[in-house]
Structure formats: structure tokens, C-alpha cells
Amino acid sequence: MILCERCPDNPTCDNCLVALRSGGAANKVVPPRTVKVTNLATMESYQAKLVAVSRTTIGLSSSEHDLHGRIEIELAYDFRIIGSGLRGIAGDPYHIIDIEKVLRREDVLERLLLEEFHTWHMSGELDPTDVLLHWKDRDDERGRLIKQEIQKLSILRQIETIFLYLYDEGEVRPLGDARASVEVEREMQRLVEEAAGTGGPVREQIVTSDGTKVFELYTSVLPDRTCGIALIDVTAVIAEERKRKRREWEIYRDILGVVTEGKLLLLSDEELFFLLREGHKLLAIDIRLPEQLAELRKLFKQALEPQGISDKRLLQFLVAVNEAASNTLKHGNGGVVTLYLSNDRQMCRAVIHDEGQGILLEDIPRATLQQGFSTRHSLGAGFHVILQYCDRVYLSSSLAGTKLILECNLSR
């Protein structure tokens, strides 16, 4: 950056503010203030001039020392800034310091909680002693809110996969060295720009093009009309949650299998696909009205009688299919009933698929085995009849609906 001839005492020049890359959130300190600077690597101390300040960066002027690396800027005996100096142009006395935290009487205000530091400079107040002396005794609502935010943000800062950004005047700037990939940042910028006009908080999900990474995006409008952004990598969390749900699902499957002696089994969609591939489809009917149940029984009878099934087995199977189809009308908007015949023509399977919201995993044992248990997501009070009249029953349920597969051995 090239300073003007009257810098740093010229209030009309904004070169030092542009260099902070903080948009409208930056202001000059006029007149510049002398501060003590300590290089945390060598512990050498010297003086510099505080020229400009924003929520996330400050500008220091020093013609004698190169202010890069981690440094501490002491503004008062108990008011310090810890930051990282960015390497600038050789010989340029102006240095940009990326703020990491503000320390005050053992309290830490992280990057997005610098309102008081910012307000202190904007008001022209150069002696913060009056504010600082009574900090620990403050009990007003604002003080409590700040302390709560400090606790929450200190927890977030411990998460290695969280990236913090600031959005100001159309530009997204990372707060610190940690940042996401270019692809993710590009998508983040697009989402933030689309939501900028709403003025409210935004929560979105970003998935990388190869599907290997998933991020949760949270934005919050700050008091100075900039926007704080938290981008959290939730890939590992989602993977672990899927494993947990899979283990829970397998436990329920094993319990149902043991209790019913292998007659009722939970089935995944993938397992259902391979099961039905063992045969071919004979018919399918869409059931939306009670009057269609009679047509369903008629079509099933016409399709199964030529397969050599006994009259008693056919009647029992029709009762079970009718009960399952009837439940789709009682507890939803109907569904589709499909009949499959195995390739060896010894087994038939009826698939009853409703379009409801599915059954919660923890409700499946009661919905299938407890007589009288009835909710809008249950399988109805007659499910014990279905278990009794079929050789095996498979159940697959998700938010896309519930699939009930009734299996009947034709040769019995």
C-alpha cells in the first residue's frame, strides 16, 4: 500500500482502510495512537502507531520494524490484541494485523465478538480504564449475552472442522488461516449473496461435486450490517450417524426375527430389490378406494389359481393381502399392490407399497406385534392375521413410505 503524504494524520484518505479488506466495517484512528508491540516468537518489544481498525483486522504503522508473524499489541495495561502480521511490501511502513483474539482481564473475546473493542475506537475514547475496571461486576443484559456468546464460540473454536468467514460489501473473507476449498467457498459465496437481501439468519447445506464432503453453512447478520459465517464440515458426523442408525436397525431386525421365529423380517430397499429379482411380475393395481379391494381379490385369484395353490392357501393369502391393502386406505391415501411369482413357480410375493410417512423404527415392534396398537403410521390391528396367514412377511419403511411383502409358498 502507498501511504499519502499526510498519512497517518489525513482523515480524508482511505488507503489504509482499503488495505484492511473489511469494507464499511473499517475506520481510521485519528490521531494515530502509540501502542506497544511484542513479537511472540522473539519476545522483543517496540512501539508502533495504531492507524486503522476493523472488526477482524487492524493497521499499524512502523518504519523501523517488520511486523509479521504472531504479535501482541498492548492498548492498555489489561487490554491486548493477539494477531498475525501479514507480510507486506518491503520497506512499506504500513502493516495489516489479522486479529485472533482480544484479551481483557482474563476474558477472551473471539473474532466475531469484538463489538466493544470496535465501539471503543469509533467513539474516539482512548482511555478504556473506566469500562474495564467494572467489567467483572457488570450484570446487565448485554454483559450476560456477551458472556454466553463467548462460551459458545470458545466451544466452536475447538472444532477443527469449522471455518469462520466475514461477508461485507459483496466479499467473503476468511477469519484466520483455516479455510475450505475453492469449490466450497464459491458455492458459499453464491448462497450468502442470495440470502443477503433477507436480513435474517441462513442455514444451508453444501455438498462437494464428488460427494465426499458435506458442510453445514450458518450465517448471522452482525450489528454493523456485515455477516458472520460459520462453515462446519459434518462429513464425519453424518457417516458416524449412518453407522449408528444401521447398527440400531440391525438390532431391531434381529429382535423381530427371534420373537417371530424368522417369520417377520426387516428389509432394506437394496435387499428388497434383489428379493424381487428372483421372480417376475404378474400384475399390479393401484388401490385408492375401498371399492377397489374386491377387484384386487378377483385379480389375485385369477393369477394364482393356475399356479396349483390349494383353495385354503389361496383364501388365507387373499385375506392377508386384503388386510394389508385395506390398511393403506385406513392409515394413508392408499397405495400400489404388486404380485410377483418366483422363477421356480413355487413362491408368490405380494408387495403392498403405501405413500405415507413411514413407521418410526422404535414403533415397528408395537406396530407389528402388539394387538390394538394403532396410530396413523401403524400397520393396523389386523397385522397378526397377516403374520398368521403368510409363510413370511418382510417390512421396509422409510420417509418414502412403507413396503410390506407377503410371501406364500404355493406348494404347501
Domains of the chain, residue spans: 15-131, 162-233, 242-409
- Specify the DSSP element, H or E, that contains 110: strand 107-110
CA separation, residue 204 to residues 85, 160, 162, 188, 212 (Å): 33, 20, 15, 9, 17
Q: Which of 136-140, 215-219, 320-324, 406-410 has the lowest mean pLDDT?
A: 136-140
**Architecture of the domain made up of 15-131:** Beta Barrel (2.40)
**Is the separation of the CB atoms in 233 and 343 below 8 Å?**
no
**Is the separation of the CB atoms in 408 and 387 below 8 Å?**
no
HEC sequence for 12-79: CCCHHHHHHCCHHHCEEEEEEEEEEEEECCCCCEEEEEEEEECCCEEEEECCCCCCCEEEEEEEECCE
Question: Hey, what's the cell of 261?
Answer: 421365529
pLDDT band at 318 (very low <50, low <70, confident <90, very high): very high
- Over residues 225-246, the mean pLDDT reads 82
Comparison of pLDDT for 113 and 86, the residue scoring more: 86
pLDDT for the residue 18 = 75
pLDDT band at 6 (very low <50, low <70, confident <90, very high): low
- Specify the DSSP element, H or E, that contains 6: none
Q: Rounded to an integer, what distance in angstroms lies between the CA atom of residue 116 and that of residue 95?
A: 23
Please choose, from the candidates 45, 103, 92, the residue with its C-alpha nearest in 3D space to the C-alpha of residue 71. 45
- Over residues 138-162, the mean pLDDT reads 54
Please choose, from the candidates 105, 98, 110, the residue with its C-alpha nearest in 3D space to the C-alpha of residue 73. 98
pLDDT of 349 > 90? The answer is yes
pLDDT for the residue 86 = 72
State pLDDT tens for residues 248-278: 888 888 888 888 888 998 888 788 888 888 8
Question: Hey, what's the cell of 284?
Answer: 399390479
pTM above 0.85, yes or no: no
Q: Which of 192-196, 211-215, 268-272, 383-387 has the lowest mean pLDDT?
A: 192-196
Q: Rounded to an integer, what distance in angstroms lies between the CA atom of residue 153 and that of residue 359?
A: 38
pLDDT of 62 > 80? The answer is yes
By the 10 Å C-beta count (0-12 exposed, 13-18 middle, 19+ buried), 246 is classed as exposed
Ranges of beta strands (E only) in 114-208 are 162-168, 171-174, 202-207
State pLDDT tens for residues 19-47: 776 656 677 877 788 888 988 888 888 88
Domain 242-409 has CATH 3.40.50.1220: no
Please choose, from the candidates 361, 363, 368, 400, the residue with its C-alpha nearest in 3D space to the C-alpha of residue 384. 368
pLDDT of 120 > 80? The answer is no
162-233 CATH, one of 3.30.565.10, 3.30.70.2170, 3.30.450.20, 2.20.25.10:
3.30.450.20
Mean pLDDT of the chain: 76
Cis before residue 31, ω within 30 degrees of 0?
yes
Comparison of pLDDT for 253 and 79, the residue scoring more: 253
Handedness of CA 218, 221, 223, 225 (dihedral sign): positive
**Is the separation of the CB atoms in 336 and 396 below 8 Å?**
no
